[in-house]
């Protein structure tokens, strides 16, 4: 364990004016509070807070953050209290320690709905003081470095949580080094064989080609010396997980993978950056489409650098990052650079982002909407790379990679997005689902009276656009949903011999946490609530009547008795989901989910549309849904998956392997289900299984009627 004087020396390296006495006091207090506590490895527990503090000194953080690291587990794990910490170390430290404690208590890998709410709390804590998450990230990094002492199932849970939440969050904050280390440590737990295989291939490559990094570094230095540019050059092999991800994304074998080496050139000025770029492009051939200028178009977390990929020595592709020293400091620390100290004073780095503005930008579009929508948006924001496009006037619009003209329109203004009818990219009219590329000019064409379409939700990429479209659809459809909800409520209440009076609906709304009966009916009509749930809430003793089975030959309401009906094979709608009927000559009526892309071809044929909804009650488990699973290639895994599905009272009607790899399988499983709640139960059970890497509902437009 680092002793207190060594820790103070680490702080003094960048902040000679630090409050050494207060750090000593915090160190002594932490030692006393954690006395008698031990980690799983058998070490004294206080070794962990000290290690977290040491990690934060590498980012040159202020005294309050270092002291918070030393005390971050005291309120949670010892008899210490907020009041005592505030009395001894001040209000600022007490608030930070309390914030870290609340974050620690969030179960970020819990059930989907809880996870969404906990993500919201995470971002609220970040918005109060971003240093809370800096301490939490350092805490997670040290826990991952020492994860071997945990039980295997706990290791896997922590590693998944790290890969899904903490690593992307570190990357979104600009702390790329931490993201890479967290990903690699999690990769080591989740797929040790794949990681070991990549490391072995690296060693073999080194034996065959020699020290490529040293040779290319020397080549770059020689070229810079010729033009008299003073710069430092560093090279490294990319992390195993980064290579593995590229292999999966591009479906390439290691031998065919290029761009596995990265080089950084750090110079004195912006002018030197562009001079160096010219030197490199003159000496080596640039790889088309692999150039990014984040100096002229910085990332939102302050990151600035030029990225150029070239065919280097022996034709090997290498990525070169060119930046100034100040840019490099922000690239290493990200948003944390705001708190960096140098020579005892806050570092005045012109590229450091104001954390308050950064977090406001990240959370401004999550103020409205439900928790699931918030979770979806946050994950989109954290995982996104960026493209930069221009308005016709030359203004820059920054978007995630994969964004479309619709995302562009909503990024300008919600009103423009809602009224979009078409778009031009570089002067050429393109479909709204076109993926935008860096540097393109986008012109949005609008029309008065245009309204968002349900299919737009699947076209757009940004959380802002998805939220705006859903909000508009909810408002536009609310009247229709209320009418449909009234019909659903009437049928469900009559089924148990009751009436859906205003008073009954108001009572149900209050019990279900809805603002009023109108909102309750709207949610019934949009299938966000089931009529069965409303009746069960008011009359639990009569709920068995609601559970009476529906005749599977007539599962929907809204058709004459002699009309034949069947579910669309493309979207496989389930009871509980919003549906619409489409008439087909010779086939009767086919029931589609309301968001089925196949409905687009009938937009100009309104006479073929029939308003349908499912019968209230308990449907038989005869509705087949295809699930796509990615599972570990291990003995007994497939048997456990089948058992899990059976335990949920669901029958497997077909099973087909779509991909077989040495370490995993992908397969399609057809499952017979009652309704959308039954689907949720099955998917939740599968997602909780350690050997299931991914599970999703499979929809195939090629199977349209």
pLDDT digits (tens, 9 = 90+) for 468-481: 888 887 777 677 77
> Domain end: 170, 190, 210, which one?
190
Percent of the chain residues past pLDDT 90, beyond the cut: 27
> Domain end: 123, 157, 190, which one?
190
Place of tokens 């619709």: 406
Confidence label for 674 from pLDDT (cuts 50, 70 and 90): confident
> Domain end: 327, 346, 365, which one?
346
Strands 664-673 and 565-567: unpaired
DSSP β-bridge partners for residue 293 = 306
Terminal Cα-to-Cα distance of the chain (whole angstroms): 68
Confidence label for 258 from pLDDT (cuts 50, 70 and 90): low
The contacts of residue 111 (CB under 8 Å, 6+ apart) are 684
Percent of the chain residues past pLDDT 70, beyond the cut: 86
Q: State the burial class of residue 241 (Cβ atoms within 10 Å of its Cβ: 0-12, 13-18, 19+).
A: buried
Task: Please indicate, yes or no, if residue 386 is contained in any of the structural domains.
Answer: no
DSSP β-bridge partners for residue 310 = 286, 318
- Domain with residue 133: its CATH number is 1.10.3210.10
Confidence label for 110 from pLDDT (cuts 50, 70 and 90): very low
Whether residues 110 and 244 share a domain: the answer is no
- Domain with residue 628: its CATH number is 3.30.70.260
> What does the pLDDT read at residue 699?
86
Whether residues 221 and 182 share a domain: the answer is no
> What does the pLDDT read at residue 125?
61
Confidence label for 111 from pLDDT (cuts 50, 70 and 90): very low
- Of 271 and 170, the structure prediction assigns the larger pLDDT to 271
Whether residues 139 and 170 share a domain: the answer is yes
Whether residues 148 and 211 share a domain: the answer is no
420-425 β-sheet, strand order: 428-430, 420-425, 442-446
The pair of three-digit structure tokens given for residue 10, joined into one six-digit string: 């680490």
Confidence label for 323 from pLDDT (cuts 50, 70 and 90): very high
The answer to whether residues 109 and 131 touch, using CB atoms and an 8 Å cutoff, is no
Task: Tell me the DSSP string of 559-623.
Answer: S-TT--EEE-TTT---TTS-EEEEEETTTEEEEEETT-GGGGGGTT-GGGEEE-EEPSSB--S-E
> What does the pLDDT read at residue 385?
57
Whether residues 162 and 198 share a domain: the answer is no
> What does the pLDDT read at residue 105?
63
Task: Please indicate, yes or no, if residue 414 is contained in any of the structural domains.
Answer: no
The pair of three-digit structure tokens given for residue 475, joined into one six-digit string: 């408002």
588-593 β-sheet, strand order: 565-567, 588-593, 579-584, 609-611
- Of 599 and 562, the structure prediction assigns the larger pLDDT to 599
List the catalytic residues: 76-77
- Domain with residue 244: its CATH number is 3.30.460.10
Task: Please indicate, yes or no, if residue 635 is contained in any of the structural domains.
Answer: yes
The answer to whether residues 302 and 334 touch, using CB atoms and an 8 Å cutoff, is yes
Structural domain for 224, as ranges: 194-346
Task: Please indicate, yes or no, if residue 455 is contained in any of the structural domains.
Answer: no
Q: Among 183, 293, 173, which Cα is nearest to 243's?
A: 183
Task: Please indicate, yes or no, if residue 205 is contained in any of the structural domains.
Answer: yes
Whether residues 167 and 299 share a domain: the answer is no
Asked whether the predicted pLDDT for residue 159 surpasses 70, the reply is yes
Residue 675 is classified by DSSP as S
Asked whether the predicted pLDDT for residue 530 surpasses 90, the reply is no
The contacts of residue 57 (CB under 8 Å, 6+ apart) are 7, 10, 11, 13, 14, 66
Task: Please indicate, yes or no, if residue 221 is contained in any of the structural domains.
Answer: yes
Whether residues 43 and 79 share a domain: the answer is yes
Whether residues 213 and 80 share a domain: the answer is no
CA distance 275 to 283: 13
Task: Please indicate, yes or no, if residue 258 is contained in any of the structural domains.
Answer: yes
Q: What are the tens digits of pLDDT across the range 279-311? A: 999 988 888 777 888 998 888 778 899 999 888
Confidence label for 372 from pLDDT (cuts 50, 70 and 90): low
CA distance 55 to 61: 10
CA distance 453 to 444: 16
Q: How many domains are contained in the chain?
A: 3
> What does the pLDDT read at residue 292?
87
Whether residues 70 and 206 share a domain: the answer is no
CA distance 666 to 637: 12
Judged by average pLDDT, the poorest of 103-112, 132-141, 456-465 is 103-112
Whether residues 115 and 252 share a domain: the answer is no
Asked whether the predicted pLDDT for residue 270 surpasses 90, the reply is yes
Q: What are the tens digits of pLDDT across the range 649-670? A: 899 999 999 988 877 889 999 9
For 556, what's the count of Cα atoms within 13 Å in the CB-facing half-sphere?
28
pTM summary value? 0.55
């Amino acid at each position: 364990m680092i002793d207190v004087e060594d820790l103070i020396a680490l702080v003094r390296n960048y902040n000679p004016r630090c409050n050494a006495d207060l750090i000593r006091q915090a160190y002594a207090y932490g030692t006393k509070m954690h006395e008698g506590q031990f980690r799983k490895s058998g070490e004294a527990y206080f070794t962990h807070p000290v290690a977290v503090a040491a990690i934060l000194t590498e980012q040159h953080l202020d005294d309050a953050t270092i002291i918070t690291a030393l005390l971050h587990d005291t309120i949670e794990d010892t008899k210490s209290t907020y009041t005592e910490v505030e009395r001894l170390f001040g209000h600022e430290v007490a608030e930070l320690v309390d914030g870290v404690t609340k974050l620690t208590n969030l179960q970020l890998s819990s059930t989907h709905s809880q996870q969404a709410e906990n993500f919201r709390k995470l971002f609220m804590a970040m918005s109060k003081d971003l240093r809370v998450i800096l301490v939490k990230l350092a805490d997670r990094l040290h826990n991952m470095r020492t994860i071997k002492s945990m039980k295997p199932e706990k290791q896997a849970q922590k590693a998944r949580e790290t890969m899904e939440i903490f690593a992307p969050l570190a990357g979104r904050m600009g702390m790329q080094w931490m993201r890479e280390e967290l990903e690699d440590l999690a990769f080591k737990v989740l797929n040790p064989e794949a990681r070991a295989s990549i490391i072995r291939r690296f060693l073999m490559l080194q034996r065959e080609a020699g020290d490529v990094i040293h040779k290319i570094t020397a080549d770059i230095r020689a070229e810079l010396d010729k033009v008299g540019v003073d710069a430092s050059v560093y090279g490294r092999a990319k992390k195993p997980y980064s290579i593995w991800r590229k292999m999966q994304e591009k479906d390439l074998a290691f031998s065919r993978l290029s761009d596995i080496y990265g080089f950084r050139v750090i110079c004195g000025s912006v002018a030197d950056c562009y001079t160096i770029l010219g030197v490199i492009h003159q000496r080596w051939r640039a790889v088309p489409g692999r150039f990014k200028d984040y100096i002229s178009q910085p990332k939102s977390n302050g990151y600035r650098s030029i990225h150029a990929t070239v065919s280097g020595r022996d034709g090997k592709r290498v990525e070169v990052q060119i930046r100034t020293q100040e840019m490099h400091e922000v690239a290493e620390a990200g948003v944390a650079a705001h708190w960096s100290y140098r020579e005892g004073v806050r570092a005045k780095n012109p590229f450091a982002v104001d954390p308050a503005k950064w977090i406001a930008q990240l959370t401004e579009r999550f103020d409205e909407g439900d928790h699931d929508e918030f979770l979806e948006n946050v994950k989109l924001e954290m995982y996104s790379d960026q493209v930069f496009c221009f308005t016709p006037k030359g203004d820059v619009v920054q978007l995630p990679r994969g964004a479309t003209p619709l995302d562009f329109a909503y990024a300008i203004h919600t009103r423009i997005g809602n009224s979009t009818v078409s778009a031009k990219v570089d002067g050429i009219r393109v479909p709204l689902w076109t993926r935008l590329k860096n540097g393109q000019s986008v012109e949005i064409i609008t029309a008065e009276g245009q309204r968002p379409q349900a299919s737009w939700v699947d076209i757009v990429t940004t959380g802002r656009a998805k939220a705006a479209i859903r909000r508009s659809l909810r408002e536009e459809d609310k009247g229709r949903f209320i009418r449909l909800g009234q019909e659903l409520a009437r049928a469900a209440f009559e089924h148990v011999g009751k009436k859906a009076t205003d008073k009954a609906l108001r009572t149900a709304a209050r019990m279900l946490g809805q603002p009023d009966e109108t909102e309750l009916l709207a949610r019934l009509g949009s299938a966000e609530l089931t009529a069965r749930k409303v009746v069960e809430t008011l009359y639990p003793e009569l709920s068995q009547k609601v559970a009476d089975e529906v005749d599977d030959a007539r599962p929907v309401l809204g058709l004459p008795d002699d009309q034949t009906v069947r579910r669309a094979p493309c979207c496989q709608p389930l009871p509980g989901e919003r549906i619409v009927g489409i008439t087909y000559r010779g086939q009767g009526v086919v029931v589609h989910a309301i968001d089925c892309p196949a409905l687009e071809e009938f937009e100009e044929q309104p006479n073929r549309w029939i308003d349908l909804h499912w019968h209230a009650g308990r449907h038989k488990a005869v509705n087949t849904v295809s699930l796509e699973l990615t599972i570990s290639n291990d003995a007994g895994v497939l048997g456990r998956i089948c058992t899990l599905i059976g335990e949920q009272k669901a029958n497997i009607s077909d099973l087909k392997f779509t991909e077989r790899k040495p370490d995993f399988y992908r397969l399609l499983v057809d499952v017979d289900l009652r309704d959308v709640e039954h689907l949720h139960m099955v998917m939740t059970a599968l997602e909780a299984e350690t050997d299931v890497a991914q599970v999703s509902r499979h929809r195939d437009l090629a199977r349209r009627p």
